Amino acid sequence: MPRINIPHPEEHPTGVRLEGRMAPVQSLSTEAAGAAVYWRNTLWAMVGIQFVMTAAFSMLTPIMPLFLPVLGVESEAAVAVWAGILNGITSLVAAFASPLWGQVADRRGRKLMLLRSSLAIALFTALMGASGNVWQFFACRALMGVFAGFSSAAIALVASQVPEDRLGYSLGWLSTGQLVGSLVGPIIGGILADMTGSYRIPFYCTAATIFLSIGLVWFGVREEFTRHHGEGRRGTFSSLFALVTTPALLALFFVLLMAQFGVRTVQPIVTLYVKEMVGDLPNLATLAGIAFSITGLANVISAPFLGNRSDRIGYRRVLLICLAGGTLTTLPQAFTDNYWLFTAERFAVGLFIGGLLPAANALVGRLVSRAERGAVYGMTSSAMFLGNSAGPLLGGAIAASLGLHWVFLMTAIVMAANLLWVYYRVPEYAAEKA
């Protein structure tokens, strides 16, 4: 397959329009030829696997703040800070490791990266459940980040197998599998903790479920992978240079960073916010799990629709709609003291943020060749990991120093800033009509 140069905004060959500027792309016949024969089977297998992985890992989200007193963290302020640190450290480490794993994925295959990441996540999750103090737990979370990258490998695998004009559609469904998992996981985790009376049991159940997903990847995923040699394969530094010197990719790097930062800022404090509203009820873990999961339910409804629409109406337009809606639905959460109203607001924000990652990742994929998508998605995954890391850290710090309500105010401000960034800096991508 011919190599596609990452377009520079000042180039003007025929092909694709970037808000009035032209960028070279493949012809329709080449795009069709680039798709794997069994791309639909691969897509649906990956949607199912993404669901299993995310459901397993998100079991722990509402449990972690409640598990901290068992590990010796007693004051409410310390719990808020540690919840942010533990949510953020895995992503912080992964931000530096992800580009390297992206390079390996382009050279050895994305399926191998899925197996590697799954095995490491399962192992360290089991060790987290056996932790005797918060520092052992912290070490397991940090080491997990070294081997992380399941989601970026899944995105790269799907993006390298599907037709170009179905990229938004495919990544929308992949995101749906992830979001359905995030919907089911917290509820299962909360129920497990409440039924067993132990905050360690969910960690062991998570590890067992992830080991199951390894078998699903091995037997269920078919990757048509061709190793590329020579100039078609970038090194880490050349990929970084391409990102920095390509305005469209660099703009999307910051879009993904700010999007994840805004979404993840509130995650460490949702359980504490629910506790502040309802008190220390026996079913607190279940109520917190519902508050987490309702956003995932809304994402499930919106992600396939918005991913599909982004292929038709434009990726930039979908990003603007999502960020505007996310800002307007996040702001009221700062002033809510009723649990059910808060849950409704969490559902509303989920309807909009569900389209952010599919649209942004599809636009990234359209700007580079299939052979280079592992490396480039490794770079953009670093942006997401940095947002995943900085969001909980800052959210926990703000909650401890200013109060829980201020976290939602800051999140709304970040989403509004991202909206302005997309409006002024991110170009649209649309096929030139004959």
Predicted model pTM: 0.67
DSSP notation for 215-229: HHHHHH---------
Per-residue pLDDT for 3 more than 90?
A: no
Task: Report the pLDDT value the prediction gives residue 27, as an integer from 0 to 100.
Answer: 39
Do residues 320 and 212 touch, judged by C-beta distance below 8 A? no
Condensed to tens digits (0 to 9), the pLDDT of residues 228-282 reads 554 445 555 555 666 666 677 778 888 888 887 877 788 778 888 888 888 888 8
Sheet containing 16-18, strands listed edge to edge, beginning at the edge strand earlier in sequence: 21-23, 16-18, 430-431
**Cα 193–chain centre separation:** 25
Q: Which of 20-24, 45-49, 97-101, 429-433 has the highest mean pLDDT?
A: 45-49
Condensed to tens digits (0 to 9), the pLDDT of residues 36-50 reads 567 888 888 888 888
Residue 403's region, left for phi above 0, alpha for psi from -120 to 50, else beta, is left
Cα(138)–Cα(157) distance, integer angstroms: 30
Do residues 216 and 48 touch, judged by C-beta distance below 8 A? yes
Res. 362 pLDDT band, cuts 50 70 90: confident
Per-residue pLDDT for 328 more than 90?
A: yes
Cα(373)–Cα(371) distance, integer angstroms: 6
Question: What is the percent of the chain where pLDDT is above 90?
Answer: 10
Task: Report the pLDDT value the prediction gives residue 331, as an integer from 0 to 100.
Answer: 92
Task: Report the pLDDT value the prediction gives residue 285, as an integer from 0 to 100.
Answer: 77
- 36-222+235-427 folds as Growth Hormone; Chain: A; (1.20.1250)
> What residues have CB less than 8 Å from 182, skipping those under 6 apart?
54, 55, 58, 292, 293, 295, 296, 299
Cα(334)–Cα(390) distance, integer angstroms: 20
Tokens of 408: 């939602």
**Can you tell me the mean pLDDT for 69-82?**
84
In degrees rounded to 5, what are phi and psi of residue 91?
Answer: -70, -35
* Domain ranges within the chain, ordered by starting residue: 36-222+235-427
Amino acid identity of residue 194, one-letter, is D
Per-residue pLDDT for 329 more than 60?
A: yes
Cα(263)–Cα(332) distance, integer angstroms: 15
Mean pLDDT of the residues in the chain: 78
Amino acid identity of residue 420, one-letter, is L
**Cα 25–chain centre separation:** 27
Task: Report the pLDDT value the prediction gives residue 378, as an integer from 0 to 100.
Answer: 74
